[in-house]
Amino acid sequence: MANMLRPMLLFSCILISLFLSTSAQSCAKYAFPKNQVFSACNDLPFLDSFLHWTYNPSTKTVQIAYRHTKITSSKWVAWAINPSSKGMVGAQALVAFRKSDGTVRAYTSPVTSYSTQLQEGKLAFEVSGLSATFSKDEMTIFATLKLPSNGTTVNQVWQEGPLSGNAPKIHETSGPNVQSMGTLNLASGKSVTTGGSNSKTKRRNIHGILNTVGWGVMMPMGAIIARYLRVFKRADPAWFYLHVSCQLSAYIAGVAGWAIGIQLGNESPGTQYPTHRNIGIVLFCFGTLQVFALLLRPNKDHKYRFYWNMYHHSIGYSTIILSIINIFKGFDILKPGKMWEKIYVGILVWLAFNAVLLEAYTWYIVVKRKKTSNMEKMSNGNDGLYG
């Protein structure tokens, strides 16, 4: 029993640590290919982006390098300063994308309306040294800007969107694409996003971790414990307490993650994920029903035990299936990177592999016991006949 649980718990710990290491990833560890050095940098909370800069107070200029990672050649990227507001309209953008011939184009584009297709044009402030590079699914824009005012706090916007040939098209109007804006103090390095602060990003990550570990890992583990360990006589009643402990821990973690998700939804009324939210509500209801099932559990010889088993098993397996579906929907929303999906798929494959082995072994035990029982009955019958 302990040999089976240790690897499962190890996988859970690895998943947690990897998620935390992702959220803790810092732009300060990045080294530019040409040994360029910037005095400050900021991890932008949406769209896998980073901003590096060096501010020169004497000339009121700032040298920037905007890095947009996990981007394909079929998309454009942009970083902008908005001198007039915190939104997109009025933004003075630096745009870059890879053309169909493989070269990278970088240009300036003032955003005058929501329907602007990022046409090339002169900005409201001076720009020099504008260039861009694309390598290993990462686009980097370099430029030196003459700040539009005497202050060091600027409104920044960053974005990505699809290409049609060599022309940028309108980006998505939901999720991270409408949250990627905020203010930045070039002198202190303090950044606050309008669409959601760094605190909100951390809560999104915590929401994902709790739900993945609770609903997506511990809940299947509890089901495996209940289904297979109960076959072994020596594991009774230890398997029951392990099952209850695992499922209650999963329920507590899942409900905590669910509550954070509800709070995040209330804080972002313009950003909705109805399918993910509705499945989460169903999971909360199913999990709560399972808690009540524990309180209403009849004795083994009770006449209603058969119906209780049907109720408990159907709700339990439905919860596991819906949990896995919703976790992958959460991956699509958070976009933590394909690596994390692969890790979770690896955990599911490992759990399934163990379930198959235990299924075969338990059937072997059950069949062996039946044969032994039948032989004992025959032996007792023969003793009674000839004794």
In the chain, where the domains are located: 2-17+199-367, 46-195
**300 pLDDT more than 70:** yes
Query: Considering the chain, what percentage of its residues have pLDDT values greater than 70?
Result: 83
- Mean pLDDT of the 10-19 span: 49
In the chain, the percentage of residues whose pLDDT exceeds 90 is: 25
Rg (CA), the chain: 29
pLDDT, tens digit, for every residue of 220-261?
998 898 888 887 778 778 888 888 889 999 999 999 999 988
Mean pLDDT of the chain: 81
Domains 2-17+199-367 and 46-195 share a fold: no
367 φ, ψ to 5°? -65, -40
Query: How many whole angstroms separate alpha carbon 364 and alpha carbon 358?
Result: 10
* CB distance 234 to 365 below 8 Å: no
pLDDT, residue 197, reads 46
Partners of residue 82 on adjacent β-strands: 155
Task: Give the number of other Cβ atoms within 10 Å of residue 165's Cβ.
Answer: 7
> Class assignment of domain 46-195?
mainly beta
Per-residue pLDDT tens over the stretch 164-193: 888 888 887 777 777 788 888 887 766 555
Query: What is the predicted pLDDT for the residue at 65?
Result: 92
CATH code reported for the domain at 2-17+199-367: 1.20.120.1770
pLDDT value at residue 387: 45
Q: Does pLDDT of 385 surpass 50?
A: no
Residue 150: pLDDT over 80: no
Q: In this predicted structure, what is the pLDDT of residue 263? A: 83
Cβ neighbour number for residue 287 with a 10 Å cutoff: 24
267 confidence band (pLDDT: 50, 70, 90)? low
pLDDT for 23 beyond 50: no
| Residue 6 scores a pLDDT above 70 | no
pTM over 0.85: no
| pLDDT score recorded for residue 198 | 53
Q: Is the pLDDT of residue 11 over 70?
A: no
Tens of pLDDT, residue by residue over 50-98, are 999 988 888 888 999 999 998 888 899 999 988 887 777 888 889 999 9
List all residues 6 or more positions away from 160 whose beta carbon is below 8 Å from its beta carbon.
Answer: 47, 68, 71, 75, 76, 77, 78, 171, 177
- How many other CB atoms are found less than 10 A from the CB of residue 298? 13
Q: Report helix angle 338-386 to 2-23, nearest 10.
A: 170
- Between 371 and 208, residue with greater pLDDT: 208
- Give the model's pLDDT for residue 220: 92
Pull the structure tokens for residue 113.
Answer: 């309306």
Over residues 356-376, mean pLDDT: 80
* Structure tokens belonging to residue 281: 């509500």
